[in-house]
Amino acid sequence: MSIEICNESGVPVDESAIASVARFALDAMRVNPLAELSVLLVELEVMAELHQRWMELPGPTDVMSFPMDELDASRRPDSLDDPESILGDIVLCPEFARDQARGAGHGLADELHLLTVHGVLHLLGYDHAEPDEEREMFGLQNELLARWQRARAAADERERQHRADSHVLGTVGLEEPGGRGERR
Protein backbone atom coordinates (compact mmCIF):
# COMPACT_ATOMS: atom_id res chain seq x y z
CA MET A 1 0.00 0.00 0.00
CA SER A 2 1.40 3.35 -0.99
CA ILE A 3 0.63 6.27 1.30
CA GLU A 4 2.17 9.63 0.52
CA ILE A 5 2.18 12.36 3.18
CA CYS A 6 2.89 15.96 2.24
CA ASN A 7 2.95 18.53 5.03
CA GLU A 8 2.51 22.05 3.69
CA SER A 9 0.81 23.30 6.86
CA GLY A 10 3.85 24.66 8.68
CA VAL A 11 2.76 22.66 11.74
CA PRO A 12 5.12 19.87 12.78
CA VAL A 13 3.29 16.53 12.87
CA ASP A 14 4.25 12.87 13.17
CA GLU A 15 3.84 11.89 9.54
CA SER A 16 4.70 8.26 10.22
CA ALA A 17 1.83 7.99 12.73
CA ILE A 18 -0.60 9.48 10.21
CA ALA A 19 0.55 6.97 7.60
CA SER A 20 0.31 4.19 10.18
CA VAL A 21 -3.29 4.93 11.17
CA ALA A 22 -4.29 5.32 7.51
CA ARG A 23 -2.66 2.00 6.63
CA PHE A 24 -4.31 0.31 9.61
CA ALA A 25 -7.76 1.59 8.62
CA LEU A 26 -7.29 0.59 4.97
CA ASP A 27 -6.06 -2.87 5.95
CA ALA A 28 -8.94 -3.33 8.41
CA MET A 29 -11.38 -2.35 5.66
CA ARG A 30 -9.72 -4.91 3.37
CA VAL A 31 -8.65 -2.35 0.80
CA ASN A 32 -6.46 -3.71 -1.96
CA PRO A 33 -2.84 -3.68 -0.72
CA LEU A 34 -1.80 -2.07 -4.01
CA ALA A 35 -4.01 0.95 -3.37
CA GLU A 36 -2.54 4.44 -3.32
CA LEU A 37 -3.49 7.23 -0.94
CA SER A 38 -2.28 10.79 -0.61
CA VAL A 39 -2.57 12.82 2.61
CA LEU A 40 -1.97 16.55 2.36
CA LEU A 41 -1.71 18.83 5.39
CA VAL A 42 -2.46 22.46 4.60
CA GLU A 43 -2.73 25.92 6.17
CA LEU A 44 -6.05 27.48 7.20
CA GLU A 45 -6.25 29.69 4.11
CA VAL A 46 -5.74 26.78 1.71
CA MET A 47 -8.36 24.70 3.51
CA ALA A 48 -10.81 27.62 3.44
CA GLU A 49 -10.33 27.90 -0.34
CA LEU A 50 -10.89 24.16 -0.83
CA HIS A 51 -13.93 24.20 1.44
CA GLN A 52 -15.49 27.08 -0.49
CA ARG A 53 -14.63 25.67 -3.90
CA TRP A 54 -15.77 22.08 -3.37
CA MET A 55 -18.41 22.32 -0.65
CA GLU A 56 -19.57 25.91 -1.20
CA LEU A 57 -19.12 26.53 2.53
CA PRO A 58 -17.22 29.48 3.98
CA GLY A 59 -14.15 29.16 6.16
CA PRO A 60 -11.77 26.29 6.80
CA THR A 61 -12.68 22.82 8.03
CA ASP A 62 -10.77 19.97 9.63
CA VAL A 63 -10.70 17.30 6.90
CA MET A 64 -11.81 16.88 3.32
CA SER A 65 -11.67 13.74 1.19
CA PHE A 66 -11.37 13.65 -2.57
CA PRO A 67 -11.99 10.19 -4.03
CA MET A 68 -10.10 9.61 -7.26
CA ASP A 69 -12.92 7.63 -8.84
CA GLU A 70 -16.54 7.10 -7.92
CA LEU A 71 -16.94 3.83 -6.10
CA ASP A 72 -19.03 1.24 -7.86
CA ALA A 73 -19.61 -2.48 -7.61
CA SER A 74 -17.37 -3.24 -10.57
CA ARG A 75 -14.32 -1.35 -9.27
CA ARG A 76 -14.10 -1.04 -5.50
CA PRO A 77 -10.83 -0.26 -3.72
CA ASP A 78 -11.45 -3.16 -1.34
CA SER A 79 -11.59 -5.64 -4.21
CA LEU A 80 -8.55 -7.87 -4.44
CA ASP A 81 -9.45 -8.54 -8.08
CA ASP A 82 -8.56 -4.99 -9.08
CA PRO A 83 -4.78 -4.94 -9.62
CA GLU A 84 -4.42 -1.32 -8.54
CA SER A 85 -6.60 1.41 -7.08
CA ILE A 86 -5.92 5.06 -6.52
CA LEU A 87 -8.17 5.90 -3.62
CA GLY A 88 -7.72 9.63 -3.68
CA ASP A 89 -6.64 12.41 -1.38
CA ILE A 90 -7.28 13.32 2.22
CA VAL A 91 -6.64 16.95 3.14
CA LEU A 92 -6.08 17.80 6.81
CA CYS A 93 -5.79 21.21 8.43
CA PRO A 94 -3.71 20.93 11.62
CA GLU A 95 -4.36 24.55 12.69
CA PHE A 96 -8.13 23.95 12.59
CA ALA A 97 -7.74 20.52 14.18
CA ARG A 98 -5.71 21.99 17.07
CA ASP A 99 -8.72 23.98 18.29
CA GLN A 100 -10.98 20.94 17.97
CA ALA A 101 -8.48 18.85 19.92
CA ARG A 102 -8.48 21.35 22.78
CA GLY A 103 -12.27 21.30 22.84
CA ALA A 104 -12.29 17.50 22.89
CA GLY A 105 -9.69 17.37 25.66
CA HIS A 106 -6.93 15.59 23.76
CA GLY A 107 -3.83 16.49 21.77
CA LEU A 108 -3.39 17.49 18.15
CA ALA A 109 -1.86 14.14 17.24
CA ASP A 110 -4.94 12.28 18.49
CA GLU A 111 -7.20 14.62 16.54
CA LEU A 112 -5.20 14.15 13.34
CA HIS A 113 -5.36 10.38 13.74
CA LEU A 114 -9.14 10.53 14.17
CA LEU A 115 -9.48 12.83 11.14
CA THR A 116 -7.30 10.52 9.04
CA VAL A 117 -9.56 7.55 9.78
CA HIS A 118 -12.57 9.78 9.08
CA GLY A 119 -11.08 10.76 5.72
CA VAL A 120 -10.32 7.15 4.82
CA LEU A 121 -13.92 6.15 5.51
CA HIS A 122 -15.18 8.98 3.30
CA LEU A 123 -12.91 7.74 0.49
CA LEU A 124 -14.49 4.31 0.91
CA GLY A 125 -17.98 5.71 0.46
CA TYR A 126 -19.10 6.26 4.05
CA ASP A 127 -21.04 9.41 4.88
CA HIS A 128 -22.75 10.99 7.87
CA ALA A 129 -25.46 13.14 6.31
CA GLU A 130 -28.27 11.06 7.81
CA PRO A 131 -28.51 9.93 11.46
CA ASP A 132 -28.22 6.22 10.64
CA GLU A 133 -25.22 6.88 8.37
CA GLU A 134 -23.62 8.98 11.10
CA ARG A 135 -24.05 6.21 13.69
CA GLU A 136 -22.53 3.65 11.33
CA MET A 137 -19.62 5.81 10.19
CA PHE A 138 -18.71 7.23 13.60
CA GLY A 139 -19.05 3.82 15.24
CA LEU A 140 -16.70 2.30 12.69
CA GLN A 141 -14.35 5.28 12.96
CA ASN A 142 -14.14 4.94 16.75
CA GLU A 143 -13.66 1.17 16.55
CA LEU A 144 -10.83 1.44 13.99
CA LEU A 145 -9.12 4.21 15.93
CA ALA A 146 -9.34 2.28 19.23
CA ARG A 147 -7.97 -0.89 17.59
CA TRP A 148 -5.06 1.08 16.07
CA GLN A 149 -4.29 2.72 19.41
CA ARG A 150 -4.23 -0.68 21.15
CA ALA A 151 -1.99 -2.15 18.44
CA ARG A 152 0.34 0.84 18.61
CA ALA A 153 0.53 0.69 22.42
CA ALA A 154 1.33 -3.04 22.24
CA ALA A 155 4.07 -2.41 19.65
CA ASP A 156 5.51 0.41 21.78
CA GLU A 157 5.53 -1.89 24.82
CA ARG A 158 7.28 -4.66 22.85
CA GLU A 159 9.91 -2.16 21.69
CA ARG A 160 10.39 -0.84 25.23
CA GLN A 161 10.77 -4.39 26.53
CA HIS A 162 13.23 -5.25 23.75
CA ARG A 163 15.38 -2.21 24.65
CA ALA A 164 15.24 -3.11 28.34
CA ASP A 165 16.16 -6.74 27.59
CA SER A 166 19.02 -5.65 25.34
CA HIS A 167 20.34 -3.35 28.06
CA VAL A 168 20.19 -6.09 30.71
CA LEU A 169 21.84 -8.60 28.39
CA GLY A 170 24.55 -6.10 27.49
CA THR A 171 23.77 -6.20 23.79
CA VAL A 172 23.01 -2.49 23.37
CA GLY A 173 25.38 -1.01 20.81
CA LEU A 174 27.15 -4.29 20.10
CA GLU A 175 26.14 -4.58 16.48
CA GLU A 176 28.91 -3.61 14.12
CA PRO A 177 27.99 -1.66 10.99
CA GLY A 178 28.66 -4.81 8.99
CA GLY A 179 26.08 -6.69 11.04
CA ARG A 180 28.57 -9.20 12.50
CA GLY A 181 27.29 -8.74 16.06
CA GLU A 182 30.73 -8.95 17.69
CA ARG A 183 31.50 -7.34 21.03
CA ARG A 184 33.61 -4.19 20.86
Q: Is 97 helix (H, G, I), strand (E, B) or coil?
A: helix
pLDDT in tens, the chain (184 residues): 899 999 999 999 999 999 999 999 999 999 998 899 999 999 999 999 999 999 999 999 999 999 986 544 444 445 545 545 789 999 999 999 999 999 999 999 999 999 999 999 999 999 999 999 999 999 999 999 999 999 999 998 998 898 888 877 776 555 545 544 444 3
Top CATH class of 2-168 equals alpha beta
What is the distance between the alpha carbons of residues 39 and 92, in angstroms, rounded to a whole number? 7
**What is the length of the chain?**
184
pLDDT in the model for residue 177: 52
pLDDT of residue 92: 98
Sequence ranges of the domains in the chain: 2-168
Q: What is the pLDDT of residue 184?
A: 39
List phi, psi (to 5°) of 130: -110, 150
How many CB atoms neighbour CB 176 within 10 A? Answer: 10
